[in-house]
Amino acid sequence: MSHAYPAPAKLNLFLHVVGRRADGYHLLQSVFRLIDRADTVHLDVRDDGRVVRECDLPGVPEDRDLTVRAARLLQAHAPGEAGVSIRLEKVLPMGGGLGGGSSDAATVLLALNRLWEVDLPREALQKLALQLGADVPVFVYGQTAFAEGVGEILRPVSAPPAWYVVLVPPVEVPTAAIFAAPELTRNTPPLKIAPFSAGMGRNDLQSVVAGRYPEVALHLEWLANFGEARVTGSGACVFASFETEQAARSVLRQLPETMRGFVAQGLDRHPLYEYCD
């Protein structure tokens, strides 16, 4: 039987780089907000112990695909012959800062945790998720989160209801290159966790991304005519927050034909939040 599950995007409402570990990983502070724009992950449970990807992802070999790696990680905790076929419907752009690949992997973990009757608690699933990448645990965590460390130390935080206009510049931004940039600010003073408010903080990566990718700078400049525009993650996507759907859609209707974008609602919880305790 085929099952379809959403893999929602995330926005970094702010992102500060507050230091760097001896191993080269950057220490961050951020607020992650899920939105209702999502990939769809199709899973067919198998009883032959195989994990099979049934779709092509340009530039992503099967053994590097985070969804395949997620399923194989969870197999160590599943019955011996547990397997799955995986097919993705991609909506979220690669290299866009929306966390698409990480979210796809988290959805595989959450869904198979139930389908394979593994029933790992959320904290254990988050530890598995961290082996796949720093952004994967927040999707398993499944709610608006204040993140620290490399992004794996998560605490719940409230964000006001919001609708977002998200623009998608026609570029892919490699995260590693942005974090390695010599011009990146790495010493923003840490914030104490506090109630989140619109306009809090900034994205320390934004000036680097905009300086290296003129298309991102152009999209930021256009969206700034309607509100505070920010890059999410390491880009390329940029967003602005609005109090109502009507206000957000009014902005999107004015989008030049040369630009792409969408409107999305902020989510307080992941659609699969109840899939683990």
Q: Which residues are catalytic?
A: 10, 135
CB-CB neighbours of 12 under 10 Å: 27
Q: Alpha-carbon distance 112 to 106, whole Å?
A: 10
Peptide bond into 236 cis (omega under 30): yes
Q: Which two tokens stand for residue 260?
A: 């792409």
Which string of DSSP letters, residue by residue, matches 25-81?
Answer: PEEEEEEEEEEEEEEEEEEEEESSS-EEE-S--TT--GGG-HHHHHHHHHHTTS-TT
Q: Alpha-carbon distance 172 to 230, whole Å?
A: 16
Q: Which two tokens stand for residue 55?
A: 């779709």
On the CB side of 25, CA atoms within 13 Å amount to: 10
**In the chain, which ranges are E strands?**
2-20, 26-46, 51-53, 83-89, 145-148, 153-156, 163-167, 230-231, 238-242, 261-267
